[in-house]
Amino acid sequence: MVVVPLIPAIVGLSIPQIFFNRSIADFVPRLSDELVYTLEARGFAEVGLDTGYFVYNERPALVKASRFGYHGPIFPILLGCWAKIWGWSLSSGVTFNLFVVTASLALFVSVVPLSGVRLALLGAFLATFWPMHFNNSFAMQESLHYAFALIIACLFHRLLEKGADQALTFRAAVVALLMCFAVIRPSWVMLLFPAMILGRTKKGTRQVALALVVTGILAVVVVWGWLALSAPWPVDVRLEGTFGLKYGLGEILDYTTRNLRALAASCAPSCRPWEALWLANRRQMFLIMAWCLGLAALRVLPPRLKPRFFLPEWQLPIQEPLFHLYNIGTIVFSICVLYKVHEATDYRVSSPYVLLSAVLILASRSRLSLALGVLLILGNALKTRDYVRFIPEHRLQYVDYDKQRVEDFRAAVSPFVSYQRGADPWCNTALSCNMTWVYYELAGLPAGVGVSMLYSWERTAQPLKSRFILLDIGRFRETNEFSAPITSTTVGDGGTWIQFGEVGAVNVRRLAQTPVGALYLNLDARCPLSGDRPRDGGR
């Protein structure tokens, strides 16, 4: 029992040592999202919410106090609290991820009664659940959602086993917790409906309709809160379009159909390792839905029509397969209608729901459910070779970087950039203009200085508001496919006029050359201009 909760930590700590001869302390975030989270967390750990902006196209959230990007402020705040307690480092994200998954697993095995066989099967599933190990290797928020899935599994196991005996206060607590989780990722709001009706002795049409109405109202509240706390995404993604009623029914149906086809597509026989892992996760979703649909159908058949092998002791309350159908079915629906099926995009969103159903299936008293759990484990085990082949991709975080570049960047910008407590947030913000916008070298910025990202000049209000601009004009011309052509002209006493096509321009002064481009002072920003070093103060 003690070993099972440690499985994610054992795998997470062993991989860099075995494959790269590195420790987890050598981790450096390299993907844009994990870099943003890491810098946001460091800012919160040092200065609280009074940081610069971490947004796209200088478009902050509706809630002015929320300056932490399009994923919202909650995960960076949690990670920042972790960094405040244990100290910040570039590896804070992965250590936090391993901790929260381990702690939630310890809670699950402590709360949910498991026989020796079921505990062993749970350990086998966790050891081979590659989506979790894959995402635990990054400083992103997916691991937090695995932890949420395990916490939710504790609560729903109680509702499935003893639902009729649960007081209203317990259900209210479950609903409140789900709403808290949904503020970080809105898809958790879909579990409000089963939380309200599972195990209830009276589930007539009126009760079900009431639960649906309440779920709908709470979902609107949660999604509105999430949108208000999150900075806008830089392009017109499906979620914004659907909620903005910019698409007709025909377009939405066409989009959904294409996603469903992509979800059911196969890359065999020439799957690359990562494609095989994504495909396996999708196949497991279909397996859970098909199995549970079959169980539910057998459960409602008249006794004379049931197969002989469907023994009474193998039966289970129909609410169990219906819950798993709902859990997996709603996330598939949400991804296909509001999100997209593409490589790891749907993989990282759907896998926490697979984990939720899988651990509940393994904890079920039904032998048929246990058989499904064994099939899930076998499916994971068959993908072990693909995951091992994929691990070298993590060289990016453990080998293929130069920490000296962080120090070189810090040395270049430190004479000019400092965090100014109490200043306007834009005066504590640097605008990064080159793809991929957030480089690991930016860890050399002072804590509390935000990084805004110029995805498209056409979508950015004029004049630019960030006090500092980081731009490599040559690379911008070569790589940026989202914005207008760029030209620069020297003007006046050391000034530069940068023109973006015919849509706008910015007046800057070059301050320094860094490893990732030139640092400019934005002379159009409404910030103090006396000297190169900023002063305290607002607009």
User: Are 353 and 150 spatial neighbours (Cβ–Cβ below 8 Å)?
Assistant: no
For the chain, list residues with pLDDT below 70.
Answer: 1, 163-166, 201-203, 235-247, 268-269, 303-316, 436, 477-484, 529-539
Task: For the chain, give every domain's residue range.
Answer: 4-29+90-395, 403-522
- Mapped onto helix, strand or coil, the DSSP state of residue 501 is coil
Contacts of 89 (CB under 8 A, 6+ apart): 25, 83
Digit-coded pLDDT (tens) for 357-396: 999 999 988 777 888 999 999 999 999 988 888 888 777 7
Q: What is the pLDDT of residue 266?
A: 79
Q: What is the pLDDT of residue 328?
A: 96
Digit-coded pLDDT (tens) for 187-243: 999 999 999 988 776 667 888 899 999 999 999 999 999 999 999 887 644 444 444
Q: What is the pLDDT of residue 153?
A: 97
Distance CA(410)–CA(431), nearest Å, equals 16
Q: What is the pLDDT of residue 299?
A: 72
Q: Give the torsion through C-alpha atoms of 344, 349, 354, 359, to 10 deg.
A: 120
User: Are 276 and 283 spatial neighbours (Cβ–Cβ below 8 Å)?
Assistant: no
Average pLDDT, the chain: 86
- DSSP labels, 61-90: -SSTT--S-TT-SHHHHHHHHHHHHH---T
The half-sphere exposure of 134 on its side-chain side, counting CA atoms within 13 A, is 26
Q: What's the Cα-to-Cα distance from 74 to each of 71, 184, 225, 348, 513, rounded to whole Å?
A: 8, 6, 12, 18, 34
- At 347, list the tokens: 């993989």
Q: What is the pLDDT of residue 243?
A: 42
Q: What is the pLDDT of residue 473?
A: 82
Q: What is the pLDDT of residue 163?
A: 67
Q: What is the pLDDT of residue 202?
A: 65
User: Are 312 and 291 spatial neighbours (Cβ–Cβ below 8 Å)?
Assistant: no
Q: What is the pLDDT of residue 2?
A: 80
| DSSP at 424 | -
